[in-house]
Amino acid sequence: MQAPRRAAPGVARPCYDALMTAAASGAAPELLAPAGDWPALRAAVAAGADAVYFGLSTFNARRRARNFSTETLPDVLGYLHERRVRGYVTLNTLIFTDELPAAVDQVRALAAAGADAVIVQDLGLIPLIRRVAPTLPIHASTQMTQTEPEGLVLLAGWGVSRAILARELTLAELPTITRTAPLPVEVFVHGALCLSYSGQCLASEALWGRSGNRGLCGQACRLPWTLLVDNRPAGPAARAYPLSPRDLAALDRLPELVGLGVAALKIEGRLKNAAYVAAVTRAYRAALDRVCAGAPPTLSPDLARDLAHTFSRGTGPGFLAGVDHGRLVEGRTPGRRGLLLGHVTTVTPRGVVLELATPAASTAELPIRPGDGVVFDCAPGDTDAPGGRVYAVRPLPVSVAARTPARGKQVRGAVGRRSRTGTALQCVELEFGREDFDPARIALGASVWKTDDPEVRRRLERCGEQTGFRHRVPVQAEVTVCPAATPIGAWNLTLALRSDDGLAACVAAPAPLAPARTQPLSREALRTQLDRLGDTPFTLAGVALLADGQPVESVPVMLPRSVLNELRRAAAAALRSRLAERHRHAVADVDAVAVERAALHRVSAPAGARAPRLHVLVRTPAQLAAVQAWQADRREAAGDVYVDFGRPADWAALCVGAPDIGLATPRIVHPDEWDRLARALPSTRGPVLVRTLGGTTGKLTMSPKPPTVVMLAGLQGSGKTTAAGKL
């Protein structure tokens, strides 16, 4: 488990007016929302997401979510496309060699169903996808740990169309990538964070045999840990969770991100419910629209309240504001924290007296009601925060609050105060059921958080029940009539529907129509009947009536209403089919795994059989000395010896005396760091072991005397078929 280890510079935020101007002048980034089940997917669409990402039952980094099945893919993607929302499918785990055929079958299924992109972690999938579904866009998952522009160059050359950057990058580092990246980039703006770099954490695998890179993270970072220094506990006892970061909330950073030209803003949360997806997506939709219009990303009180009620472990800017672990990890709890209500001033046998963080103007505006769920901050070392459902809420006048009996003592100066205006309610008494409340566990001064509001939750969950069309496809209707061959005086009629993006469907009346005796067929009458598209993804933009190819206002044709309604339904159904067909990708009938393995064998097979050699990686000078002593004692040489000393200055000092020693680059390289790494190379003749994609291109390979570059086997790929074989 490798955590960010270098201090990034602070982010100097430019003039806010300049940020607004820059944001408004560029193209709006895509807002990408998560979906772990059907209610969450419907909520994301209803809340205004431009795209939704979701996973299937296998090869999915969120296997604990309900997810979707291969059989339901056409329905899921059809639902999204009819509502003008894109659908991205995650295949974002490492894939073992014997699983490659099944993974390719899954690629075939999602390509045929019309996925707008596939999100992958394993590099070995990239060439397989290109062979099976050449037109299917590939997005590099954040699990690939892309922190440098050099790696993006390689991915673009392999056919990747978007890269989801590591969440550990800062706003100060992003411009280096967005200015030079050869492909669009995506950035996380909201949701849970891990203390380790995305895709690099092995804690769950080491502890329980459940790998996060296989979709089964055991969340070791959410457990209590004791920090030991010289085998003695150190650090504040209240911080029992030193590995559990606050959640990311970058809503106020949207102007910078939009101004940088980021292609997509991503919300984390495929394990969250529909209420969470609805509240977060609605908030970011509103804020992003304001930023793109040149306004600040402020929220209405209702949106801000709903956002505060969503699941979070406390929020902050994450790594965007720079590497500051004291701000990133509060460490008191790994559990949910919602809306801060206030602090305990008195403990009673049935409840507490609470001083509100924000005074209420009236009883109706109190932030807490009977039935709401609350939690109290844990006492130091308490891993199970007390809390429960509120049974009763009683506003306290100053005189009553001042007489409320305390357990031992009160927080000085807190109980009974009113706001400075003297009119707002500042203190309330909360009562709990007997089984939900243990007064002995409540400390005076403890923070009280509202973790559940059933009324808000039910309202937000209803977003997951919406099936309507937020963005309908405008269509033009064209009704054409011409004389029929038989019978004499009859007319043939066709109805065509054409969408604004080039799709068309045409149907014909089942039989010639008789001439009108009294009421001719008018364009306005057609508009009235054809405008009834409520159960379809279309909206009528206009109607044209043509007779012998010329536009007219009416024709002497008798068209029964039932026939016109049936024509409308048939044309709309045909256009829906065209809409689904347009998103489908052609799938090649090829054994992609066998073909790719054969191709890699041709370029990588050795000229002759060689005995295996032992290569050694050392991390300290003492380890290096031990290897050298072992070689001298046995009078035999190992293979390459690589040093991983962390600092390029240590490399340079070592290579003066041992120029044939190999160097191992860091597993994580941030923007502009290759310059410092490359400066250490002139002093060595040994090979360089690179552990990031960027190490195979850029500064290392462009030097006058480029070293022998050795790529670490298994770099974001666990099968024998790996994109690294292209190097």
Contacts of 445 (CB under 8 A, 6+ apart): 343, 344, 345, 411
User: Binning pLDDT at 50, 70 and 90, where does residue 421 land?
Assistant: very low
| pLDDT exceeds 90 at position 27 | no
Token duo for residue 701: 């390979």
| pLDDT exceeds 50 at position 409 | no
What's residue 508's pLDDT?
97
Count, residues in the chain: 727
| pLDDT exceeds 90 at position 405 | no
- 650-675: pLDDT as tens digits: 766 666 666 678 888 888 888 888 77
- 340-368: pLDDT as tens digits: 899 999 998 889 999 999 898 888 889 99
Lowest-confidence range among 257-271, 329-343, 395-409?
A: 395-409
Sign of CA dihedral 270, 273, 276, 279: positive
**Beta-bridge mates of residue 217:** none
What's residue 7's pLDDT?
36
What's residue 188's pLDDT?
98
Which position has the token pair 């030209």?
Answer: 261
User: Binning pLDDT at 50, 70 and 90, where does residue 207 land?
Assistant: confident
Query: How far apart, in whole angstroms, are the C-alpha atoms of residue 138 and residue 134?
Result: 10
What's residue 488's pLDDT?
84
Query: How far apart, in whole angstroms, are the C-alpha atoms of residue 109 and residue 74?
Result: 9
| pLDDT exceeds 60 at position 470 | yes
Query: How far apart, in whole angstroms, are the C-alpha atoms of residue 127 and residue 590?
Result: 13
- 525-578: pLDDT as tens digits: 999 999 999 889 999 999 999 998 899 999 999 999 999 999 999 999 999 999
Determine contact, residues 715/724, Cβ cutoff 8 Å: yes
| pLDDT exceeds 90 at position 605 | no
| pLDDT exceeds 80 at position 399 | no
Query: How far apart, in whole angstroms, are the C-alpha atoms of residue 237 and residue 225?
Result: 10
Determine contact, residues 141/199, Cβ cutoff 8 Å: yes
| pLDDT exceeds 80 at position 689 | yes
Contacts of 587 (CB under 8 A, 6+ apart): 108, 111, 112, 132, 133
Give the residue, 461 or 720, on which the prediction is more confident. 461
What's residue 610's pLDDT?
67
Mean local confidence (pLDDT), 84-110:
94
Mean local confidence (pLDDT), 480-505:
92
- 219-230: pLDDT as tens digits: 888 888 888 898
Which position has the token pair 């090979």?
Answer: 687
Token duo for residue 312: 């979070």
Token duo for residue 249: 């909330």
Task: Tell me: cis bond preceding 224? Omega within 30 of 0 counts.
Answer: no
Best-predicted range by mean pLDDT (112-116, 194-198, 434-438, 517-521): 112-116
Q: Fill in the amino acid letter for 564.
A: L
| pLDDT exceeds 70 at position 597 | yes
Mean local confidence (pLDDT), 332-347:
86
Residue 557 is classified by DSSP as B
- 243-271: pLDDT as tens digits: 889 999 999 999 999 999 999 999 999 99
User: Binning pLDDT at 50, 70 and 90, where does residue 682 land?
Assistant: low
Mean local confidence (pLDDT), 229-233:
88
Across the chain, mean pLDDT equals: 84
Query: How far apart, in whole angstroms, are the C-alpha atoms of residue 55 and residue 91?
Result: 7
**Helical packing angle, 73-82 and 561-583, nearest 10°:** 110
Residue 68 is classified by DSSP as B
**Beta-bridge mates of residue 472:** none
| pLDDT exceeds 80 at position 637 | no
